[in-house]
Structure 1
């Protein structure tokens, strides 16, 4: 039986025009291997804490739900404010840490840095920075922002989160153009029977690094006390 993937109306109404806009954007933050020439829909399922230590897995529904990525958080790593993104073989691709320290203490944002592992896994390169606004009257309604720091990108780009991740109703948008590069949603029939949002999908536009997108989602999951915090 074929299922239809439904994008939440609240987000769709705001971004419908931008989603259909043509773009030659190529953003190989982690690597071109993770940039598809066509749009792709991947499914996220939270792992139970008691069995797998929390975190989540990402699968491809068009390939019999073959695992694409895995994310480990506190339950596996034994560390707070740190998440690791791995590929289907368990190879580490990204480690994302909360920066903290004196600089953050006086900042209006909580900062998370994403580091890419090299081929040997022995060193790491800063590839993106995510800034989460602290609760403040000065920061009211400020979005979560992501800045690319990868040398692999031809030009640095800034993105922001539009919508509300805990509702699985949000998008990653290029800040300067408003173009949606990835969209989080819940299939209609799933939303009717699962209220805890443990199963959702992510639509990723052509040319966008899928590993980067799920690195961002891993941080959002942690910020909002998701499966990576267990």
Structure 2
């Protein structure tokens, strides 16, 4: 297993590929909620960002199955590059972020750059189109550490809607960190992309 730094929680670093199912749960509410299950149907992560006690829409908390706050992602304003920051646990005033995410370019479609601010100072890049649930997270050596894909129903072989998709975690990569990046991508990209399978490409013409 490739040795990668633990960024959020060691409990979510695995020795083999981990296939997770991500479901948006707030289709009939204001805001975005998520539940994340492993291949055995066990709940791993959840996000509740709707209801009377909802936080600012620019701040989202990732929790484990028991409701422990693992990570807070927050949009940094003002920011031309749609910069988001990640904080360990439930963010407090004055707390320093452990990573940030930004678009590689403010012009046209582009990849995302993830800079880890704690310990290792590693950098990751996200390429593809999250709006179409088709993108990959690469480390600095251009090796894939996580993938987001459309989910196929195993019994019917039918591709499911975009509100249910797969997150594949490679061995050694922090799954809680990966899910935090999914939350950021969902907020940055949402479903604003066309249904055409257009990739994020830093060299593409607008």
Distance in 2, Cα, partners of 1:215 & 1:68: 13
Instruction: Give the equivalent residue in structure 2 for 1:94.
Output: 71
Which TM-score applies when normalising by structure 1? 0.72
Q: Is the 8 A contact 2:138 2:144 kept in 1?
A: yes
| Unaligned segments of structure 2, at least 5 residues | 192-206
Instruction: Give the equivalent residue in structure 1 for 2:158.
Output: 192
1:32 to 10, 32, 47: 10
Q: Is the 8 A contact 2:26 2:50 kept in 1?
A: no
- Residue 47 of structure 2 is aligned to residue 71 of structure 1: yes
Q: Which has the higher contact order (CA 8 A, sep 6+)?
A: 1
- Residue 58 of structure 2 is aligned to residue 81 of structure 1: yes
Instruction: Give the equivalent residue in structure 1 for 2:115.
Output: 147
Distance in 1, Cα, partners of 2:159 & 2:9: 37
Q: Is the 8 A contact 2:10 2:174 kept in 1?
A: yes
Q: How many residues align?
A: 187
Instruction: Give the equivalent residue in structure 2 for 1:172.
Output: 137
| Unaligned segments of structure 1, at least 5 residues | 1-22
Distance in 2, Cα, partners of 1:92 & 1:57: 14
Give the drift of 1:225.
Answer: 2.9
Give the drift of 1:78.
Answer: 3.8
Instruction: Give the equivalent residue in structure 1 for 2:25.
Output: 47
RMSD over aligned CA atoms reads: 2.5
Q: Is the 8 A contact 2:45 2:65 kept in 1?
A: yes
Q: Is the 8 A contact 2:29 2:50 kept in 1?
A: no
1:129 to 97, 100, 109: 100
Give the drift of 1:192.
Answer: 3.3
Provide Cα deviations, 1:189-222, integer angstroms capped at 9, x if missing partner: 478353x411111110111111000000001111
Distance in 1, Cα, partners of 2:32 & 2:61: 12
Instruction: Give the equivalent residue in structure 2 for 1:204.
Output: 169
Structure with the larger helix share: 1
Give the drift of 1:52.
Answer: 9.1
Q: 1:213 to 1:97 in 2, by over 3 A?
A: same
Distance in 1, Cα, partners of 2:127 & 2:31: 29
Deviating beyond 6 angstroms after TM superposition, the runs of 4 or more aligned structure 1 residues are none
Q: Is the 8 A contact 1:93 1:117 kept in 2?
A: yes
Provide Cα deviations, 1:8-44, integer angstroms capped at 9, x if missing partner: xxxxxxxxxxxxxxx6232200122221122211111
Distance in 1, Cα, partners of 2:68 & 2:168: 23
Give the drift of 1:73.
Answer: 3.4
Q: Is the 8 A contact 1:29 1:212 kept in 2?
A: yes
